[in-house]
Amino acid sequence: MPANNKRYTNKKNVNKKPTFHKKEVKVVGEKIFIYKPDMNVAAVAEGLNISNAAMIKRLMQLGLMASINQVIDRDTIEVIALDEGYEVRDEVITDVTRFDEMQIVDDPNDMVKRPPIVTVMGHVDHGKTTLLDAIRKSRVVEGEAGGITQHIGAYQVIRNGEPITFIDTPGHAAFTEMRARGAKVTDIVVLVVAADDGVMPQTIEALDHAKAAKVPIIVAVNKMDKASANPERVMNELSEKGLIPEAWGGSTPFVNVSALKKQGLEELLDVIQLMSEIDEFKANPKRLAKGTVIEASLDKGRGAVATLIVETGTLRVGDYIVIGNTYGKIRTMQDDLKRRYQEAKPSQPIEITGLNEVPQAGDIFMAFTDEKVTRQIADERQSRQRDGELKSVKKASLDNMLGDLESSEKVLNIIIKGDVQGSIEALKNLLEKIDIDGFHVNVVRSTVGAITESDVTLANASNAVVIGFNVRPASSVKQAADAQGVEIRLYSIIYRVAEDIEAALKGMLQPTFEEIVTGQAEIRETFKVSKIGTIAGGYVTDGVIKRDALVRVLRDGIVVYEGKLQSLKRFKDDVKEVRTGFECGFSIENFNDIKIGDVVEASQMKEVEVD
């Protein structure tokens, strides 16, 4: 995030709506280059008033081979800008619609101590999950409510009256992804290393990420209960990587623990609290809240649900809130023990409901008091995102059409929609790695939720294929896609997507079997019949349902079950098929959880000729 002590703003970026602008300072008579994060070669060339070719030549002189769309780091830009006689200054954002990039300056008198936020990282199987579970359970000792916990992505433990926040999604992916999106939601990293296994590749990876984020590290040497535990080896190996144990005169605390036997946890928590006392993490609770989304999903009963960590300010039930490009009014707030809250303070993780759509992990949120302003800000951000998406994809397809040699990349644009953030991320990472003779995938949009008309519109505009992972389009969306010639492909197994995309990129996507959706029925009644199970009374809204169909049960656009029909009836008679506009009764093999309002989609596998 740019430093906030400069007073200049880039005129080009000034938003047209005057309501959100406090000031715009013009610079006259000086050559000033305004730096913004993620500037690519073309943007820098424009800012320096030189041609793209001249810019590329400059970069080559510095030993960098870059294409027009490549992002250039600030140091490199500064070297070239100075050469061109420009002074580089960071952009100062005063436009509240860009609150995620905006730095908040608080009165130091309002700043109070806030709990530390801790992320646990380390090599797979070294005990991250076990450690997080053990710490979570340890709070029962403090006399807090025990009971059933639910995973919301983060939790707090109270120790000696002071809370500590733990991010409950172990792994680097989440950490790095959030950092890449500008969110800084970790104060301390606990690096878990198994004492019987020592430093492994992901230990080093985690270490690199923590160092890059300049976050202090505590090493938890785990599995000390094992006979083969060798903590000295861990200390030696990490010393070589620059983490010198305190015991050896260095500055990194090493704590021996056994997550399994719950040993050493108290000491680990002590060290965390000691470290946070030294670092003095502070925030201002006397302002509207700003913070980050840790996890988000579409809940069958509650709609869009998101776990937020409040970075600064106080979040209250009833607050209007913009998250990423969506907005809402906070209806409920609860923690991982399902305790309800009216307000959440800095560093507090809280699961909220009341959002219009599902945001993405890593999205920044900000609370507002006025509904109209909130809606305007969300609209503005949405249209900006759409413009950005369109611009980036139009460029790609145009490049292809013109056969531009410089960027002769061949790109398959893809929109990913899925039921949970985790699988979307996994899918996105997998697809983005595919490269077949220079052909690759460009993920235009990847969000949690059902496939919507907005996805179809974007796909049409960007010539993209929509991938639905465990989500389905509603009939109206499917019709829109058909009308616009947009291809929607639906999957429930990640590697199948990768296989198909690879095949498509090789230009040989020839499925021998294709799934043809034949029709949909809406469930209007259900009956429990002993011995048989639940019988659903449905109305065929579209196409035809056949007795031997494969069926998917959709609830709010999410696939809740896939299987086969067990019976199909019209009144009391078994029938082979039921067409649009007729009522029918059926049961599904091994599935009795069907509910009123569910949509059942019937399909059939059809052989496709291979030439």
Residues that bind ligand GDP (CB under 6 A): 122, 124-130, 170, 222-223, 225-226, 258-260
* Nearest residue (CB) to ligand GDP, 114 versus 126: 126
**Residue 51 tokens, joined:** 């041609």
Rounded CA separation 178/30 (Å): 37
Minimum CB distance to ligand GDP, residue 153 (Å): 15
Q: Which amino acid, 207?
A: L
* Nearest residue (CB) to ligand GDP, 170 versus 291: 170
Residue 559 pairs with which residues in a beta bridge? 554
Minimum CB distance to ligand GDP, residue 210 (Å): 16
**Measured on CA atoms in the order 153, 128, 269, 173, is the torsion positive or negative?**
negative
Q: How far is CA 573 from CA 120, 534, 569, 585, in A?
A: 59, 17, 5, 10
Minimum CB distance to ligand GDP, residue 156 (Å): 20
For the chain, how far is it from start to end, CA to CA, in angstroms? 55
Minimum CB distance to ligand GDP, residue 201 (Å): 13
Query: In the chain, how many H helices and how many E strands?
Result: 13, 31
* Nearest residue (CB) to ligand GDP, 222 versus 284: 222
Minimum CB distance to ligand GDP, residue 121 (Å): 9
* Nearest residue (CB) to ligand GDP, 170 versus 543: 170
Return the DSSP state at 471.
B
Minimum CB distance to ligand GDP, residue 181 (Å): 24
* Nearest residue (CB) to ligand GDP, 32 versus 260: 260
* Nearest residue (CB) to ligand GDP, 126 versus 290: 126
Rounded CA separation 24/508 (Å): 54
Burial of 219 (0-12, 13-18, 19+ CB in 10 A): buried
Minimum CB distance to ligand GDP, residue 224 (Å): 7
Q: Minimal CA–CA distance to 147: which of 156, 159, 136?
A: 136
Report the SS3 class of residue 346.
Answer: coil
* Nearest residue (CB) to ligand GDP, 174 versus 259: 259
Rounded CA separation 23/414 (Å): 39
**Residue 421 tokens, joined:** 């953030």
Rounded CA separation 252/514 (Å): 57
Minimum CB distance to ligand GDP, residue 260 (Å): 3
* Nearest residue (CB) to ligand GDP, 21 versus 226: 226
Burial of 554 (0-12, 13-18, 19+ CB in 10 A): buried
